Amino acid sequence: MPDHARAQVGVRALTPAPIIVSALFGAEDAAWLNAARRAHFPPERNVLDAHLTLFHHLPPDVGAELKRRLSELTRNQPPPRAWIGSLRNLGRGVAYGVESPELEAIRAELADAFAPLLTPQDRAGWRPHVTIQNKVEPAAARALLAELSAGFTRRPLSIAGLAAWWYRGGPWEPLSRHMFA
């Protein structure tokens, strides 16, 4: 890497950025969901692995407190039980709806802790889902929804941990990972 490019990467890493919080899937479910994204997401837009977002935008200065809280919520704790419980029409895409009262309780605790800092999107009701198709024509989304609905059954979903990510406009950059026991 040329020196000027290395310097830009270093400056970028030091630039404050919003923080995203997501759940981490177990290996088998991550592979299954990532395969679904590869099969149905427009390739030029598929720059992230499959993810379940808990918060879309926390301010960068809460990083240390967030890491502490995520560690406390996961350390020596069993993973929350979760299921892929539905299919969702996103208009221009399709998602798997996620059911997990235990994960909802974790998110609610974090939302209470950071309440004054939440954006309107993160203050709104949480509808947990994993997007497997987005930014397509509505007809293509309806076709995929019909195809997936034909054989859909509720299935368990493994939640292995929680993660925080820097968002700098492109693929997310890891900030921290916190695994359940």
CA separation for the pair 137, 129 (Å, rounded): 20
CA separation for the pair 28, 33 (Å, rounded): 9
pLDDT recorded at residue 12: 52
pLDDT digits (tens, 9 = 90+) for 158-168: 999 999 999 99
- Residue 171's alpha-carbon distances to 46, 55, 108, 155, in angstroms, are 10, 16, 26, 29
Task: Say what the pTM is.
Answer: 0.90
Determine the number of helices (DSSP H) and then strands (DSSP E) in the chain.
6, 8
Say which amino acid occupies 178. Answer: H
pLDDT digits (tens, 9 = 90+) for 125-144: 899 999 999 999 999 999 99
pLDDT recorded at residue 16: 84
| Sheet with strand 83-89: strands edge to edge | 129-133, 94-99, 83-89, 155-156
CA separation for the pair 15, 159 (Å, rounded): 30
pLDDT recorded at residue 14: 61
**Phi, psi angle pair for 52, to nearest 5°:** -120, 100
pLDDT recorded at residue 15: 75
Q: Which stretches of the chain score pLDDT less than 50?
A: 1-11
